[in-house]
A and B are shown apart, each in its own frame.
Chain A
Amino acid sequence: MTEASNENKEIGATSEFVTVHIDGQLFGLPIEQVEDVFMPDAITEVPLSNPQVAGVLNLRGRIVTAIDMRKRLGLPPRSDGGTPMAVGIEHQQESYGLIIDRVGEVLRLGRRTFEKNPANLDVRWSSISAGVHRLDGQLLVLLDVERILDITGEKSNAA
């Protein structure tokens, strides 16, 4: 299903992606799904929630549910002490923030460089990835927003 939607995006030759860095890896998010980029501040933890949910925060008067992408991807907590950033996403009239290490740039990518998820990709990655783009010198993992936000359904995997 995701592939289908992805294909639609790719058919028109190129699509734009916002790139982000998490633990040294480059990821891409479809630009039309990214609302804004912000510095997550004063996150209120939500006890009893899935650990992948970092908490809730106030973004210009909206309550945003922040998701710790490192936990979502099964990565270790950040150790370089850098300022975390977040990508704001609107999904079904609710606001979410994906907490990442660093925001990159906006890339225009074509179908030519696209590949499906390699079969040996960790399930925690493949479950939220829509595929991979081969870039010069590095690989960009496409993130599927819908599946990232499908946290409750994956609770068993979470721990």
Chain B
Amino acid sequence: MDDLLSEFLTETAESLDVVDVELVKFEQEPTNSGILDNIFRLVHTIKGTCGFLGLPRLEALAHSAETLMGKYRDGATPTSEGVSLILDTIDRLKEILEQLEQEGSEPEGVDQDLIQQLDAMSALAMKAMNGESVEEPAEAEAPASQELERELKPGEVSLDDLEAAFQNAPGPDDFGAGAPSVDEAPAAVVEPEPPVPAEVPAAVKAPAAKPAAAQKDDAKPKEGGAVKAQTIRVNVETLEQLMTMVSELVLTRNQLLEMVRRLDDSEFKVPLQRLSNVTAELQEGVMKTRMQPIGNAWQKLPRIIRDLSKELDKKINLEMIGAETELDRQVLEQIKDPLTHMVRNSADHGLETTEGRIAAGKSEEGNVTLSAYHEGGHIIIKIADDGQGLPTDKIKAKVIANGIATEAELEEMSENQIHKLIFHAGLSTAEKVTNVSGRGVGMDVVRTNIELIGGTVDLTSVAGEGSTFIIKIPLTLAIVSALIVEASGQKFAIPQLAVLELVKSNANAEHRIEMINDSPVLRLRNKLLPVISMSKLLGNDPVAKILEEGDDGTAAAAAATDQNVFVVVVQVGGQTFGIVVDAVFHTEEIVVKPMSSMLREITMFSGNTILGDGSVILIVDPNGIAQAVAKDHGGAQDSNHVDAAEAADLIGNEEKTALLVFKSGSEDLKAVPLSLVTRLEEVDVANIERSNNRDLVQYRGKLMPLIYIDDHLTHKDEGLQPILVFADETHSMGLVVDEIVDIVEDRLTIEISSEKDGIVGSAVIKGKATEVIDVGYYLPKAFDDWLEKRDIPNPVQRELKLLLVDDSAFFRNLLSPLLASAGYRVTMVESATEALQLKDKGEVFDVIVSDIEMPEMDGITFAGVLKGDNQWGETPIIALSSHTNPEVIARGRAAGFRDYVAKFDREGLIESIRECKPVSENEAAA
């Protein structure tokens, strides 16, 4: 009985899902008899099976629904209410099934409400038809409706006979009347339905029917039916086991290959090659069995949208593209709920009301488009709506109300950054909590769920045009590509998915590990990256001990990193950090096996696997490490989310930098590289004018905009106001400060700031914690407007294309607005390699500005490569460097640099580029 029941539960649940989908389709296409037949068939089967199993409630409900469906099939015009009623019935059926599954027996309860409605609807439909059989008793099984559209096969009984059989057996009516005698006899006689394909037999089996083949419905599939191609249902466990076996085979094969590789000439080589190929194909084949079309996760969506549409009184069209895109069933399971939630959100919050849409001049019907496609080893799922877009103002208000960020911080964020805050915990912007969404389960849960399976979620939104959510998830979790590393003499696997890059580090290299208050950090492209030693995490590391216990942090770090170590830069969620390992080997496709239950409590490992050489290796869980990092760094990294990391581009010069230390807005010290400041000025506040919502001051015959560190700040009430002037030859801006404290020369060692945009980070300058201002952030604030004005009076003949090569994001960001404001179209790349890629693509530039000190290929080599190039050989190239040593300059010139400019010398740079211009103009003409 148990097997029978569970088989029934699975099958019925599937059938009901299909009915759901089909009904919605049917409502849109009431004349499509194929769909109707299919629904009818499914409901009928459910009814039949329930009868056999002695499930009176289910049977009675299914029966009434079937009767109504029968009427429609016979020609009555289906009404929306009718379909809704049937859908309600399906829901009730599902509820009962759920309890049945939990308790093993049908729950107590009465369904007279639905049954009466259904019967009334049937009668109505009947009358509406032609009144021909109005006098038919309500509980009649509507014999007219039960004709099969094909010949009966051996072993099958006509539906009418079947109905007669039902009549004789205790039927729904008997149960309805409260007769307790559940006749088990028919159930005992009938074999359980064999686990046939997902399609459901067209006819109900007769009580005496033999199971299996004889009943298998091979009638031609109806148009629009859910009948699928030949499939068999296989227990998931069997598949998992198969997968495991294949994994073993792969591993054994790898072992064999490795052994044979050592032999110079082996007769095994050829057959082994063949074995290898077959194994690979087998692996692929078995992997495929685990793959399911993503459409399976979408099945419920049409229904959800339909219900939403009714409930919210919106017209919604759900389009699903790429439903056949396949992904691992494990991943599929996990993505189901987040997807449903997001689609609901799009329909509920994304789309405007019908009136709203009309008012906005859009079509009455809102569109939600769900699409999926493969990209690399990932599947990309997009959920797009053409609604109102995310309400930036509401998000802002909510963010402030919930204390996630201050108003000033928000001011400094781009719209997209603000939108992304909806993924922040505890932020639901639904004004009123509807039945549909906004029940506290927000987008943060969605994000967490997606990140749990190694995915990411992103969004773009345009006010008035709609929003698009983009989910990127790995295809499978079972086999992953992993980086094999060594720490404390032991090998470990780190899932490649989390790895951003590898950095080699030692005390003398550009990338070296330094200490900030016992926390090791790494300078990487002028950013500071928190790092954690793998060995230390594993609790046995002499090096880490030195790092930890050394009195002089940097010295200890230097001593400790005397030899080469490797830093695996990983990203988990919004957190980026480095894992220090002793050696890095190669990447390998590994089959993830769960840790033994005895070892599962160790969060540092997510599983283990067998490598090609037969050894067992532990798979590091980046999430576990991330937690350890957070703990290790006293939680400082907790708040270090993506935006902050992005904003916190750091300066990391080797030599000392002159810094201007000042105060603004608070007592905290702030600093800015002196070389960026054009002049220090004091202006009389009486001369500050307010125009177009910003403060301006007349400065050297021009109006200069005044910028504040925080937008809520303002200038003094009277007297002289100190300002820092940042200027190029045509325009300038003034940064209002409270007090200029000092000018110091110190080495900049900046710790990541998670606090706000506009602050590069905090540095210890002359023993005091000082915030270093990101001028690159403030310049565009003033220059954006200036650019617009400039375009008119400054008719540049042609926008010159400039290529900026610099590995420091800070300098790129700093220089690009300057160069742009000087009239250049700036393309920025991070490395010489990237620049050469552009060259290969056929890009042409008028001038190249390149940093000298860069990882991989330095500026001198880069210039050397370009010198002999026929494409870019003539393009003038200007070197940017913090070194002003004459010898280096001479080398640069020899390598082909036209000019040599110090990094902070903006005027010099502009001047130098300008000098190059005629050449490029000539070239352009030639």
Contact = CB atoms under 8 A, between A and B. Distances in A.
Contacts of B609: 63
B248 interface: yes
A101 B43 CA distance: 66
B339 interface: no
Interface stretch (A38-46, A79-87, A105-113, A131-139): A38-46
Given A45-B490, A47-B490, A48-B538, A58 B615 contact: yes
B602 to A, nearest CB: 5
B900 interface: no
A100 interface: no
Contacts of B604: 47-48
Interface string B585-608: 000000001001111011011001
Most buried by A among B251, B604, B608, B616: B616
Contacts of A29: none
B614 interface: yes
Contact residues on A (Cβ < 8 Å of other chain), bracket: 20 to 34
B596 A63 contact: yes
B153 to A, nearest CB: 43
B868 interface: no
Contacts of A94: 596-598
A152 interface: yes
B616 A57 contact: yes
A65 B615 CA distance: 13
Contacts of B602: 46-49
A56 B614 contact: no
A42 B614 contact: yes
Interface string A127-159: 000000000000000000000010110000000
A50 B488 CA distance: 18
A62 B591 CA distance: 12
Contacts of A49: 598-599, 602
A152 B598 contact: yes
Interface string A83-125: 0000000001010100000000000000000000000000000
Contacts of A42: 614-616
A77 interface: no
A152 B488 CA distance: 25
Contacts, number: 68
Interface string B532-568: 0000011110000000000000000000000000000
A58 B605 contact: no
Contact of A44 (B251, B252, B490, B539): B490
A63 B608 contact: yes
A61 interface: yes
B674 interface: no
Nearest to B492: A47
Interface in B249-289: 251-252
A94 B618 CA distance: 17
A53 interface: yes
A56 to B, nearest CB: 5
Contacts of B605: 46
B610 interface: yes
Nearest to B601: A152
Given A58-B614, A58-B616, A47 B596 contact: no
Interface string A52-86: 01011110011101000000000000000000000
A151 B600 CA distance: 12
A65 B599 contact: yes
A65 B252 contact: no
Contacts of B488: 47
B617 interface: yes
Contacts of A92: 597
Given A46-B599, A53-B599, A63 B616 contact: yes
Nearest to B488: A47
Contacts of A152: 598, 601
A45 to B, nearest CB: 6
A146 to B, nearest CB: 12
A90 to B, nearest CB: 12
B68 to A, nearest CB: 49
A61 B598 CA distance: 19
Interface in B223-257: 248, 251-252
Nearest to A55: B616
B702 to A, nearest CB: 65
A49 B540 CA distance: 13
B379 to A, nearest CB: 29
A63 B597 contact: no
A65 B540 CA distance: 21
B540 A53 contact: no
A56 B596 contact: yes
B252 A61 contact: yes
A55 B602 CA distance: 13
A5 B130 CA distance: 75
Nearest to B611: A58
Contacts of B601: 152
Contacts of A45: 490
Contacts of B599: 46, 49, 53, 56, 65
B540 A61 contact: no
B616 A44 contact: yes
Contacts of A56: 596, 599, 608, 616, 618
Contact of A149 (B251, B598, B618): B598
A92 B594 CA distance: 14
A44 to B, nearest CB: 4
A47 B540 contact: yes
A60 to B, nearest CB: 8
A53 B538 contact: no
Contact of B610 (A48, A50, A58, A96): A58
Given A45-B490, A47-B538, A48-B604, A53 B598 contact: yes
Given A47-B539, A56-B608, A61 B248 contact: yes
Contacts of B596: 56, 63, 65, 94, 96
A72 to B, nearest CB: 12
Contacts of B614: 42, 58
24 contacts: A44-B490, A44-B615, A46-B602, A47-B488, A47-B490, A47-B540, A48-B539, A49-B599, A49-B602, A56-B596, A56-B608, A58-B610, A58-B615, A58-B616, A61-B252, A61-B610, A63-B596, A63-B616, A65-B596, A65-B598, A65-B599, A92-B597, A96-B596, A152-B601
Interface of A: 42, 44-50, 53, 55-58, 61-63, 65, 92, 94, 96, 149, 151-152
Given A42-B614, A57-B616, A61-B610, 14 more contacts: A44-B617, A47-B602, A47-B618, A48-B604, A49-B598, A49-B599, A55-B616, A56-B596, A63-B593, A63-B596, A63-B610, A96-B596, A96-B598, A152-B598
List the 10 shortest-distance A-B pairs measured between CB atoms, nearest first: A47-B538, A61-B248, A65-B596, A44-B616, A56-B616, A58-B610, A48-B602, A58-B616, A42-B615, A94-B596
